[in-house]
Structure 1
Amino acid sequence: MKIARWMDGETLGEGFVVDDQVVAFPDGQTVADVLRGGLRRAHDLYAAVDRSAARPLRDVGLLPPLVPASVRDFAVFEEHVEGMSADADGVSHVPEQWYRAPTFYFTNPHAIYPTAAVIRPPATVRLDYELEVAAVLGGDPGEDLDPATADERIFGYVIMNDWSARDLQSQEMNVRLGPAKGKDFATSLGPWIVTADEVADRVDADGFLALRAEVYVNDRLLGADLLSNMAWTFAELVSYASRASRVLPGDVLGSGTVGNGGCLGELWGLAGGALTPPPLAEGDVVTMRVERLGELSGTVGPARANPHLLPTARARPKPRARTFAEPSA
């Protein structure tokens, strides 16, 4: 099954994509409702939809297929980390800590864009794409899930582009926090959620999802990899996310950028810092295609200048008590 959200004129639709049509869930159900119900409930709804009310897919505008409860983004492709960590000589420095656990960061669930969106980045000279696939959780919330139980919480998968302003990201991560403003302006998800059972035949004996992912800039192929080159499975990512914490239906967990050109930053690192291919510029079209999952595209729009410049950090005295006079009685 494919799960989508769309605008049909002024009307919001939520439901299934069936062949080249969209059909709404029965009884006004939403994607959030279906995720909470899990895959079994989704199959029940699929059997009950009124296909006579279907609309041609070409006549609607696709939205992000869900409003995420949260968005975690991992970094579990060693080849990507090698490229991003390379020095001026193109020599990689993957930290030993990377091999211990699947590191992730939280990004902005309020800046989610659909396929065919125009992305307006902040003022940056190193705009980048990141080709990823994300797991979407459904069913019951969970804490401290083992991988087998975590796997049961994976409702489906969606293509993800973690747009990145590499110059801003580099600056802020020198403070040993983030990434933040280098990332939070846009994440694209789409074109729809493909349910986990639709790709179950592509899960290998070790639990890895063997789907081919490709990224094109202005129709030029720049990166391609198999998702099965992940260092941890999606189930293990969900398990780790739930450790001493809580995961919910509607949570999105990105795989992190695939290797072999999954982002420009990786290619720049392996080229010793040379910006080849060049950073994304206004008018560039980034298209991501993942086997079984569909196609996600986005166009780079004009940059947004900083509207409110802030001062640099102020030098402050270090008093440990207030010195204001107390008000008289």
Structure 2
Amino acid sequence: MKLGRISVATPFGPVTRLVAVDTVESRVIDLATAEILRLQAKGATQEAAQRFASAIFPGSMSAAIGLGDIFLETAHEAVQARADDASTATSSVNWLSAIDPPVIRDGLTFVKHIKQFHERIGAEPTEALLEIPGYFKGTPFTAVGHDAEVPKPFYTDYFDYELELGYIVGRVCHNLTPDEAQRAIFGVTIFNDFSARDIQKLEMKIGMGPGKGKDCAFGIGPWIVTMDEIGRLDDLEMAVRINGKEYSRGDSAETIWTPGESLAYMSISEYVQPGDLFASGTVGNGSGLEIGRKLEAGDVLELEVSRIGTLRTKIGPPEEKRWWPERRRKFW
């Protein structure tokens, strides 16, 4: 099943709705509306049907996933019963980030990208990558969805993209084995780890991980494909287009760590939550740094993954500069 989040205009402001995506018919099905109609046909009052549907299909995808199996079971029943009565053409919807993750974690697992990235910056990959599946944590509050406009940060001269897979956690994970963790993955989406490369370079020298070099934006979407539909994760074809021109291709084969191993490591002495997103790291050829292409205002970026779809983003003009730190004098 393909699941997404859209924004719907109302007299009281925008409302977030969970939808099933029908790519064959180019439509989305409002799950709450379909469920209300299904329950009313079975004798429920409108008030009772609305109360139940809003509990199963809230605006938060993370909250819905946290309900466990009943979320997907009810979604399938609602779509099967009343899809035609709760549909909207895909071309007319306003997409939001496919998941509203409590936490974003981003790893580094694709061998080709690791090699090419380090060749570009003139360094050897650290052997620590072979010891543990490391990751950083990013803010969930700059996540954007399909067809969003992302301002180019005013503080960077090298704005970049990173084509990745985003894995959605399906249940609470604590001290899991890799096999257990693999079964805890709910679905997969496209993840774009936007990067301000010049600021990232400064931050990594401090040794505390990326901050402003990454947290300006995370693209997530266009929707989530559940694990039963996506099938294998190691044979996905991936491509990058900018302004309609294809710049690179890659695939999801050859990783140091599997998704199950990465999630198992994250769960050690920690409680990973339903709806959390953890990413694969960049696929080989999946960043501008590897092919010598920066993002500029006006660019339209398309990241495509087979069996998932295409995540499109427009790069907008920078926001107004209000303040930036001045270099301090050396005091040691």
Larger gyration radius, structure 1 or structure 2: 1
Between the aligned partners of 1:314 and 1:293, the Cα distance in structure 2 is: 50
Secondary structure of 1:15's counterpart equals strand
Report the counterpart of residue 53 of structure 1 in structure 2: 86
Q: CA deviation at 1:43?
A: 2.8
Q: CA deviation at 1:315?
A: 7.6
Q: CA deviation at 1:284?
A: 0.9
Give runs of aligned pairs for residues 172-183 of structure 1, distance below 5 A.
172-183=203-214
Report the counterpart of residue 107 of structure 2 in structure 1: 74
Q: CA deviation at 1:311?
A: 4.2
Between the aligned partners of 1:184 and 1:92, the Cα distance in structure 2 is: 24
Cα deviation code 1:197-253 (max 9, x no counterpart): 1012xx2xxxx5311111111222222211122222111111111112111101001
Cα deviation code 1:44-69 (max 9, x no counterpart): 32113432122222221111112111
- What TM-score do the two structures reach when normalised by structure 1? 0.85
Out of 98-107 and 298-307, give the one that drifted further: 298-307
Return closer, same or farther for 1:98/1:136 CA change in 2, 3 Å cut-off. Answer: same
Report the counterpart of residue 138 of structure 1 in structure 2: 170
Gaps of 5+ in 1: 268-275, 318-329
Between the aligned partners of 1:136 and 1:63, the Cα distance in structure 2 is: 16
Q: Which amino acid aligns with 2:219?
A: S
Give runs of aligned pairs for residues 140-289 of structure 1, distance below 5 A.
141-200=172-231, 203=232, 208-259=233-284, 261-267=285-291, 276-277=292-293, 279-289=294-304
Return closer, same or farther for 1:87/1:6 CA change in 2, 3 Å cut-off. Answer: closer
Out of 21-30 and 120-129, give the one that drifted further: 21-30
Between the aligned partners of 2:181 and 2:120, the Cα distance in structure 1 is: 37
Return closer, same or farther for 1:134/1:185 CA change in 2, 3 Å cut-off. Answer: same
Contact 1:287 1:296 in 2 (8 A): yes
Report the counterpart of residue 22 of structure 1 in structure 2: 28
Identity of aligned residues (%): 30
Q: Which amino acid aligns with 1:280?
A: L
Between the aligned partners of 1:32 and 1:258, the Cα distance in structure 2 is: 26
Give runs of aligned pairs for residues 36-51 of structure 1, distance below 5 A.
36-39=66-69, 41-49=71-79, 50-51=82-83
Between the aligned partners of 1:188 and 1:242, the Cα distance in structure 2 is: 24
1:33 is aligned to 2:63:
yes
Secondary structure of 1:86's counterpart equals helix
Return closer, same or farther for 1:240/1:109 CA change in 2, 3 Å cut-off. Answer: same
Q: CA deviation at 1:294?
A: 0.6
Equivalent of residue 141 in structure 2, options 91, 97, 110: 110
Report the counterpart of residue 304 of structure 1 in structure 2: 319
Contact 1:37 1:138 in 2 (8 A): no
Secondary structure of 2:20's counterpart equals strand
Report the counterpart of residue 40 of structure 2 in structure 1: none
Between the aligned partners of 1:196 and 1:6, the Cα distance in structure 2 is: 21
Q: Which amino acid aligns with 2:301?
A: V
Out of 168-177 and 154-163, give the one that drifted further: 168-177
Question: What value does the CA root-mean-square deviation take over the aligned residues?
Answer: 2.0
Return closer, same or farther for 1:46/1:120 CA change in 2, 3 Å cut-off. Answer: same
- What TM-score do the two structures reach when normalised by structure 2? 0.84
Equivalent of residue 129 in structure 1, options 132, 136, 161: 161
Q: Which amino acid aligns with 1:308?
A: W
1:2 is aligned to 2:2:
yes
Contact 2:195 2:213 in 1 (8 A): yes
Contact 2:97 2:146 in 1 (8 A): yes
Equivalent of residue 12 in structure 1, options 10, 16, 35: 16
Return closer, same or farther for 1:62/1:105 CA change in 2, 3 Å cut-off. Answer: same
Between the aligned partners of 2:329 and 2:197, the Cα distance in structure 1 is: 26
Q: Which amino acid aligns with 2:169?
A: L
**Structure number having the greater helix percentage:** 2
